[in-house]
């Protein structure tokens, strides 16, 4: 693993060791290493998992009157887990976050059982909190096109190459359905010049790679940015750069989208990730095959992609209610 991955593991282990007995802390270190080396989870995901388990173990240390040991984890009752969830709810934590925390604790418990270090049956016995399922909120086609146009921010006191860069990133999110991390993880050599190719290979969740098409207009937008960029874009270096020449931060892309929301009068749901939703929804609305869209998005399960059929149905019903003479009363 890279150096920063190792740093993440060390910090995560230190946090867990502060709230758990030595035997639990040692197994937690092995668990985090397993997630990083074998499962190849991203450093941010490792950090999130370890933080959630540290919260759970910290609660147990208070609840049980001492840092939990492996034997103590095996003796946990479902009531102990429910007490943890109840405490977090009283602190204003939402169901989605509670579900994530419980999933992290269960991951650690499965590791312990697989390694023959005991079974934490109480975690499996407690039902996960119900999370209201909300539909993705794509942008209308006209708005999605507008946010990828550098002219939409022409009045800003920003350098032309910065505006071209932001437009190129957003065009890539909408044109190819990428996540921000996938777009910002591209090197210069990954992107073909206009007329020299029509697809790229991106690395998604779990370090899985997939090939996605890139529209000629998007390639031209990226070429325009590259021509204006004042920083040397070496083949192996990041394609998208910050003002000082370092890798572009996802936060900068989010801020660019915030400015566009103000300029174009878009709702708060118009985020960079909404462009990925827009990509999928607009393809589906124009007859795109659901399994093909699944592959383009890099979804492991077709069920994840199927939510866009509900979005498309909702849009059809809305259009029907707005346009049908009888529906309008």
44 is catalytic: no
Q: Is 273 a catalytic residue?
A: yes
Of 207, 204, 104, 225, the C-alpha closest to 162 is 225
**Plot region of 209 (φ>0 → left; ψ -120 to 50 → alpha; else → beta):** beta
**Pick the catalytic residue: 137, 145, 205, 259?**
205
Structure-token pair, residue 10? 């060390």
119, 109 contact by CB (below 8 A): yes
Q: Which of 88, 188, 276, 277 is catalytic?
A: 276
Active site includes 259? Answer: no
Which pair of structure tokens corresponds to residue 28? 């937690």
The yes-or-no answer on residue 299 being catalytic is yes
Residue with tokens 């405490």: 87
The residue from 179, 188, 241, 277 that is catalytic is 179
- Cα–Cα distance between 170 and 183 in angstroms, integer? 9
| Residue 205 falls in the annotated catalytic set | yes
106 annotated active-site: no
Catalytic residue, candidates 145, 158, 273, 315: 273
Which residues are annotated as catalytic? Answer: 179, 205, 273, 276, 299, 308
């Amino acid at each position: 693993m890279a150096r920063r991955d190792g740093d993440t593991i060390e910090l995560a282990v230190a946090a867990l060791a502060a709230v758990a007995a030595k035997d639990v802390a040692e197994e937690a270190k092995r668990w985090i290493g397993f997630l990083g080396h074998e499962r190849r989870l991203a450093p941010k995901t490792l950090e999130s998992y370890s933080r959630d388990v540290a919260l759970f173990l910290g609660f147990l240390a208070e609840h049980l009157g001492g840092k939990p040991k492996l034997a103590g984890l095996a003796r946990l009752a479902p009531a102990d887990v429910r007490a943890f969830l109840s405490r977090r709810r009283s602190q204003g934590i939402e169901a989605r976050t509670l579900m994530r925390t419980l999933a992290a604790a269960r991951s650690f418990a499965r590791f312990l059982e697989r390694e023959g270090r005991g079974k934490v049956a109480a975690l499996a016995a407690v039902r996960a909190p119900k999370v209201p399922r909300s539909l993705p909120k794509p942008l209308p086609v006209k708005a999605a096109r507008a946010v990828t146009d550098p002219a939409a921010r022409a009045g800003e006191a920003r350098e032309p190459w910065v505006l071209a860069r932001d437009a190129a990133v957003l065009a890539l999110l909408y044109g190819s359905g990428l996540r921000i991390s996938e777009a910002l993880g591209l090197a210069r050599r990954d992107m073909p010049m206009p007329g020299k190719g029509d697809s790229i290979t991106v690395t998604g969740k779990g370090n899985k790679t997939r090939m996605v098409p890139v529209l000629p207009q998007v390639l031209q937008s990226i070429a325009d940015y590259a021509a204006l960029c004042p920083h040397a874009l070496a083949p192996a270096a990041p394609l998208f750069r910050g003002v000082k020449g370092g890798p572009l931060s996802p936060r900068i892309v989010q801020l660019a989208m915030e400015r566009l929301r103000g300029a174009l009068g878009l709702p708060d749901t118009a985020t960079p990730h909404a462009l990925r939703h827009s990509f999928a929804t607009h393809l589906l609305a124009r007859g795109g095959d659901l399994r093909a869209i699944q592959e383009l998005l890099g979804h492991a399960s077709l069920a994840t992609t199927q939510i866009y059929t509900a979005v498309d149905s909702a849009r059809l019903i809305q259009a029907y209610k707005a346009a049908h003479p009888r529906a309008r009363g």
